[in-house]
A and B are shown apart, each in its own frame.
Chain A
């Protein structure tokens, strides 16, 4: 007998996470959670992304009676400091200058909840990314494309930002915003299966 189909709900406004779940062939809904994404004082980047991921899941779970809710939050970390989404062009320039010629970490917290049981699982994935040296002129040209807006660390590895990346150590999808092996593990932990959500 075939496994009953699981309904998945992505608690995220990120088109890249939507694209990853689409690539997996999942039948899912998108709900945009209304949560405060600010880091709390004394909170490590790991704690921050996991707390934010859980908050996103809990913000949308009430609208459903069954299924699995997925939440995620990504930050770029350099010198121990998280870089979220840039507030403006000057902020994006500051971030990209800081990343040029160096390694940085990308951390994504992933949380899942099975609505029927209330079971929840959360963890984070870390990937190291190295940028080549960046000049002010190319940083400004990149910012002018509009791509850095709404991207943690002011770049998109799946977009023009790939030109800056010389090396990567770890899971690539994590840098895009949703580490699939971690998601798969967490979904299994709460007794579900990504394959049972295939269209």
Chain B
């Protein structure tokens, strides 16, 4: 199942993190399959979470919300180096994972995929 996401990118000149400037790419479909997000906890432990298991990911905080509504505040979250998306205009575009500031799932039932891995 593919979801649509509202994606915000860091402005190229902006510093990453809280208070940094972003621009909206609009609602996009993710073309790349199985996008794994690396989540680093405050104790240094890192694990992988599928983007499909998140309804919201905010790298400026950093913070993410799982499909069962749990909000997690890890030390950092990293996306893959390259993700392909289909923009609202129907064009393919490659995005560097570091460019992504915020990503919010749009529409559909956001709960209960039954694949929580942590």
Residues of B within 8 Å of A37, CB to CB, are: none
**B111 at the A/B interface (Cβ < 8 Å)?**
no
Q: Which residues of B contact A (CB under 8 A)?
A: 29, 31-33, 82, 84, 86, 90-94
How distant is A53 from chain B, measured CB to nearest CB, in Å? 16
Evaluate contact between B29 and A15: CB separation under 8 angstroms: yes
Evaluate contact between A15 and B32: CB separation under 8 angstroms: no
Evaluate contact between B92 and A14: CB separation under 8 angstroms: yes
Q: List 29 A-B contacts (CB under 8 A).
A: A10-B92, A12-B92, A13-B90, A14-B92, A15-B29, A15-B84, A15-B86, A15-B90, A15-B92, A17-B92, A18-B31, A18-B84, A18-B86, A18-B92, A19-B31, A22-B31, A22-B32, A22-B33, A22-B84, A23-B33, A27-B82, A29-B94, A30-B84, A30-B92, A30-B93, A30-B94, A32-B92, A149-B90, A150-B90
Task: Name the CB-closest residue of B to A146.
Answer: B90
A22 CA to B80 CA, complexed, in Å: 14
Interface of A is mostly: mixed
Given contacts A22-B84, A30-B84, contact A15 B31 (CB under 8 A): yes
How distant is A68 from chain B, measured CB to nearest CB, in Å? 16
